[in-house]
Amino acid sequence: VFSERTAHERTKNRFSLALERARAGGAPILDLTASNPTLVGIPYAPEVARAVSESASVSRYEPVPFGLASARRAIAELWRSRGLEVPEDRVALTASTSEAYAFLFKLFCDAGDEVLVPAPSYPLFEHLAALEGVRLVPYRLGYDGAWFVDPAPLRAALTERTRAVLVVSPNNPTGSYLRRDALFRLAELGLPIISDEVFGEYPLVPDPERARSVLENEDVLVVALDGLSKLAALPQWKLAWMSFAGPGLLVDEALARLELVLDTFLSPSTPIQLALPELLRTRHVAADAIRERLRQNHAALLGACQNSAVSVLPVEGGWYAVLRLPATRTDEEFALSFLERGVLVQPGYFFDFGDDPHVVLSLLTPESSLAEGVGRLVQAVGEST
Ligand SMILES: Cc1ncc(COP(=O)(O)O)c(C=O)c1O
């Protein structure tokens, strides 16, 4: 009686079972995967709570498909502060970027159509696509000391059913930004480009070649995704947005079709939409604290892995770091051995890293846990080689 779309694999993998056992055993675990900003001691501006409680007292409800004009204007102003002009009528609000993906898959794809996704990348894509009946076709990112979008595997992955290309900039978990030349080459494919830019305001190193946003390119239909979840470290308040650019007729058609989808769901809550201008204005308190933590943790990580068998791959931005380990075990075996020493990291296969063993950790982890956990990890790798 149930759909194929919800028939996902439910058997727990070996790593999840080991983690459950370790947790049930009660031994303390240093969690180096912590990436929920509300649980890792990040300070917020006092105005944040005030803005939401004040707007919660507003009893007015205006069911507008694209979101309240005041909130869309605030997003247009955010773009202006980044040097890009995006009219507010090309902005649509959703409750999360996950919801935005679901809506965009409805907009571009019929069941069985294909979307190109980077590998390695965000594991949730698999479920977001499956739930819309969309087939994901991975294109492997190149790596030559830095990660980059390689046009060859992209072209090889194209079929008659390809409907859009996804990019994540900076990517989760490789931390690599989309460069202008790569964006230009992507646009040459002639497909709509959906760009997840939720970590965009967390660069670790400057790079003048970096595209500020996919919206810089108007040759094809482009959609930038962002939201409060990372930008203001407020995932619990559930507000995200899609911004569109490209050839005028295509943008108009996309928005006209999307209107029905948005009108059918009307999901972003009015109080949060009303609070958005204030949440954006005061986001720097939390975001600056996060940037400082990312910087400190990244420096500590580089220091701890120096002269060891663990390589820290270059991080350009975002909240994660990738470690490459010696090819003596699989990444799952390494992650299990770290767990035995009370350290939790994510094995690379969760993100589709391919053959070499990699593990992923969150640079949002509180500093003392990260230093202690990485120390144990480096020691474990040293003893195993
Ligand atoms: C690449 C990427 N996009 C989007 C999100 C989540 O955003 P939202 O909470 O708006 O669905 C995450 C969360 O980790 C992410 O890693």
Report pLDDT for 280: 98
Which residues touch 48 (CB under 8 Å, ≥6 apart)?
232, 234, 278, 279, 282, 285, 286
Quote the ligand 1 centre to 117 CA distance (angstroms): 15
pLDDT over 90 at 58, yes or no: no
Report pLDDT for 277: 98
Indicate which atom in ligand 1 lies nearest the CA of residue 98.
11
pLDDT over 90 at 335, yes or no: yes
In angstroms, the Cα distances linking 125 to 144, 166, 294 are: 25, 10, 25
pLDDT over 90 at 287, yes or no: yes
Residue 104's Cβ-count burial label (10 Å; 0-12, 13-18, 19+) is buried
pLDDT over 90 at 91, yes or no: yes
**Residue with CA at minimum distance from ligand 1 atom 4:** 97
**pTM of the prediction?**
0.97
**Residue with CA at minimum distance from ligand 1 atom 5:** 97
Q: What percent of the chain has pLDDT over 90?
A: 96
At 80, the pLDDT band (50, 70, 90 cuts) reads very high
Among the listed residues 317, 313, 326, 333, the one whose alpha carbon sits nearest the alpha carbon of residue 378: 326
Quote the ligand 1 centre to 171 CA distance (angstroms): 11
Report pLDDT for 355: 84
Among the listed residues 317, 324, 322, 323, the one whose alpha carbon sits nearest the alpha carbon of residue 295: 317
Torsion of CA 326, 327, 330, 335, to 10 degrees: 0
Q: Which residues line ligand 1 (CB under 6 A)?
A: 96-98, 122, 168, 172, 196, 198, 227, 229, 235, 240
Strand bridging mode 147-148 / 193-196: unpaired
Average pLDDT for the chain: 96
Report pLDDT for 5: 92
pLDDT in tens, 255-285: 999 999 999 999 999 999 999 999 999 999 9
Indicate which atom in ligand 1 lies nearest the CA of residue 319.
16
Q: Can you say whether the dihedral through the CA atoms of 305, 308, 310, 316 is positive or negative?
A: positive
Quote the ligand 1 centre to 97 CA distance (angstroms): 6
Report pLDDT for 162: 98
DSSP 112: T
Report pLDDT for 354: 86
255 and 90 in contact (C-beta within 8 Å)? yes
Quote the ligand 1 centre to 255 CA distance (angstroms): 23
What are 116's strand-pairing partners? Answer: 137, 165
Strand bridging mode 162-168 / 114-119: parallel
Report pLDDT for 299: 98
Alpha carbon of residue 383 to chain centroid: 34
In angstroms, the Cα distances linking 172 to 67, 70, 179, 202, 361 are: 28, 31, 16, 12, 11
Report pLDDT for 247: 98
Report pLDDT for 59: 86
Report pLDDT for 68: 97
Report pLDDT for 222: 98
Tokens of 127: 């479920």
pLDDT over 90 at 288, yes or no: yes
- Longest CA pairwise span in the chain (Å): 64
pLDDT over 90 at 173, yes or no: yes
**Residue with CA at minimum distance from ligand 1 atom 12:** 198
What is the rounded distance in angstroms from the CA atom of residue 115 to the CA atom of residue 131? Answer: 13
pLDDT over 90 at 76, yes or no: yes
**Alpha helices by DSSP H, the chain:** 14-25, 46-56, 69-81, 97-108, 124-130, 151-157, 180-187, 228-231, 248-265, 270-281, 284-305, 331-340, 367-384
Ligand 1 pocket, mutate which of 125, 228, 230 (most atoms under 8 A from CB): 230
Q: Can you say whether the dihedral through the CA atoms of 304, 306, 308, 314 is positive or negative?
A: positive
Report pLDDT for 103: 98
141 and 177 in contact (C-beta within 8 Å)? no
pLDDT in tens, 1-49: 999 999 998 999 999 999 999 999 998 999 999 999 999 999 999 999 9
Among the listed residues 282, 353, 360, the one whose alpha carbon sits nearest the alpha carbon of residue 321: 360
pLDDT in tens, 371-383: 999 999 999 999 9
Q: What percent of the chain has pLDDT over 70?
A: 100
Say which residue the tokens 């660069």 belong to. Answer: 203
Quote the ligand 1 centre to 286 CA distance (angstroms): 17
Indicate which atom in ligand 1 lies nearest the CA of residue 35.
14
Among the listed residues 117, 196, 193, 184, the one whose alpha carbon sits nearest the alpha carbon of residue 157: 117
Q: Coil, helix or strand for 136?
A: strand
pLDDT over 90 at 385, yes or no: no
Quote the ligand 1 centre to 198 CA distance (angstroms): 7
**Average pLDDT estimate for 68-81:** 98
Quote the ligand 1 centre to 269 CA distance (angstroms): 19
